Chains A and B, each alone.
Chain A
Amino acid sequence: MKTIVIYKWFRSAASALVRQDGQVDWGGAKMAAGDDDPAALDIAKAVAGPGGTVTGLTIGDGETAWVLARGVERALAAPAVGPLTDELATARALAQAVRLVEAADAVEAADAVIVADAAAHPGVAPALAAELGRPVVLCVSSAAADGSQITVRRRVGNAVEVICLPPPAVLGAVAAGEEARPPGMMETIRARKKPVVELPVTPPPEALERRGTRPPARLGARLFGGSPDDAASALVAALRADGVL
């Protein structure tokens, strides 16, 4: 099967500096690999299967070496699309890019488009599917394909669900574990020398206006200090006062 994995399409919250007044400074933060990006790539490879092809796609300043160092031969980027506030606009940019890849491959649709079902941007994967006019399954932790069907496994609440759906489809991937074998420095250096194709994707207009940020009302836990016994006694007393102990 032909699959497209979308990776490094948003910035990590850890890159943002939050000031005391709640203002956010992103500095020069780049698009980063999220926790779920390795899972998305694993799923893309599993669905593609032996003899299949996986194409890596990123936007903005996402570094293509990430996917090239992980065994993907073909990397494309849409550098004109930066971080967007509106998740529908992000999905529309990704959909444009996917269609350009498919047009270049002279196929009507890739069998599966796999994108991180990111906790910080959970609307993007379903909106991408809707923009592409394809079915979607979210929270996918593993997948396989048998030619006519894609079968996925996911954890929903406290249940494990197995779902099958026909290609072409969009899968939102979540990590069920840490990346098993991240590439070494040499693989990454070699990957940086590989060619990257740039896609002429135009950033879509956003329907959301940002009015600003502020600190949350509660800034954190009530911390108990003193000796370990003092702190433990105070915590137990607080839990009892709350009626949970």
Chain B
Amino acid sequence: MTFELWAVVTATEQLAPLVAAGLSGGAAVSAVAVGPLELAQTASGMGVAKVYWIETSPGLAAEAYTGAVGELARRSAARAWLASAAPGPRALLGAAAAATGAGLTTGGVALRLDGEQVVVEREALDGAVIETVAANGPIAVVWGLGEGEPAVGAPPAEIEPVPAASPWAVESLSIEAAGGGLSQASRVVGVGRGVRARADLALVEELAEAFGAEVGCSMPLADDLHWYAEERYIGRSGLRIAPAVYLALGISGQPQHVEGVRGARVIAAVNSDPEAPIFKTATYGIAQDLYEVAPALVRALRDN
């Protein structure tokens, strides 16, 4: 037995995790593509049953189309709605949930049909637990996983244009790139309040050089202490990075910061507090004083 799942997307990189989640959960997946035709065309080749395409006007943000998605949702029989945590698709997901009365939850990592209920497993309490929730009717989920492989070699699905009669006047006036080389770096050293003085940043810079890494920081070092420029702050309201390896030095691991490094392939952390939340997120850790570990890391990197 299958069920209908609609994935709401505004950019191609959002597609694969949502389509993969739906297909692995046994759903017949359709995409609601809000953007240019290229987005709908990409979606149609990713193993979906159908693509509903809402064409966006130049200059309007995705959030302008909440009304159109709400209207589309009202005539849908979908049992599950998925979107990434990015602001555009999330705004559209909220509209779909409100239009259908769908139970709305966050951090989904798996879903399936269980009898008449759609069951979702989700990360809760900053990843401390996995919570299982179920809905008898539709459910809308801000999806928590950023990776997934869609079907390969799938035949292209039908693209149905959906008119957006009266979008909101939510206008994007300008978009400027930020972050420079840090946002594209394959190795990043992040530094937090575990560093006691500005002069001690030399220790971090030396490690970053040995590591071949760019240096970023947690919010207090940019916002409060002004040791680094705002452009180097990593977190939910700062840079979001996806390096091969992220080394967190003296960073406690508050959710604000961790959200900015979720895309990292491997996270390693050095913090003197073994109970620091960063060790729940990291793959590897050293629970010792960074003032002793950082020079040791430099030696280890240079010795081999």
Contact = CB atoms under 8 A, between A and B. Distances in A.
Contacts of A103: none
Contacts of B64: 135
A242 interface: yes
A139 B265 CA distance: 25
Interface residues of A, number: 83
A144 interface: no
A241 to B, nearest CB: 10
A162 interface: yes
Contact of A165 (B170, B178, B244): B170
Given A138-B87, A174-B237, A213-B131, A130 B97 contact: yes
A232 B286 contact: yes
A87 to B, nearest CB: 4
Contacts of A136: 63, 66, 91, 94
Nearest to B69: A130
Interface stretch (B16-24, B26-34, B42-50, B277-285): B277-285
A231 B300 CA distance: 10
Interface in A81-114: 85-88, 91
Interface in A106-125: 117, 119-123, 125
Q: How large is the interface on B (under 10, 10 to 19, 20 to 34, 35 or more residues)?
A: 35 or more
A91 B104 contact: yes
B103 A223 contact: no
Given A13-B126, A238-B284, A178 B87 contact: no
Contacts of A161: 61, 172, 174-176
A209 B133 contact: yes
A175 interface: yes
B176 to A, nearest CB: 5
B101 interface: yes
B203 interface: no
A147 interface: no
B132 interface: yes
B256 interface: yes
B296 A178 contact: no
A16 interface: yes
Contacts of B280: 219-221
Interface in B193-220: 211, 219-220
A223 B274 CA distance: 9
B86 interface: yes
Given A123-B105, A223-B274, A223-B286, A130 B139 contact: no
A219 B127 CA distance: 9
B300 A135 contact: no
Contacts of B101: 88, 207
Contacts of A176: 219, 223, 230, 237-238
Contact of A244 (B241, B266, B293): B266
Contacts of B256: 35, 119, 175
B293 A88 contact: no
Contact of A174 (B94, B236, B297): B236
A28 interface: no
A130 B70 contact: yes
A244 B212 CA distance: 11
Interface of A: 13, 16, 18, 22, 24, 35, 85-88, 91, 117, 119-123, 125-131, 135-139, 141, 151, 154-166, 172, 174-178, 206-216, 219-225, 227-229, 231-233, 235-236, 238-240, 242-245
Given A162-B175, A165-B168, 18 more contacts: A119-B259, A123-B90, A123-B97, A156-B175, A157-B240, A164-B171, A177-B224, A208-B134, A209-B134, A213-B129, A214-B130, A221-B283, A224-B284, A228-B288, A228-B295, A235-B268, A235-B300, A236-B301
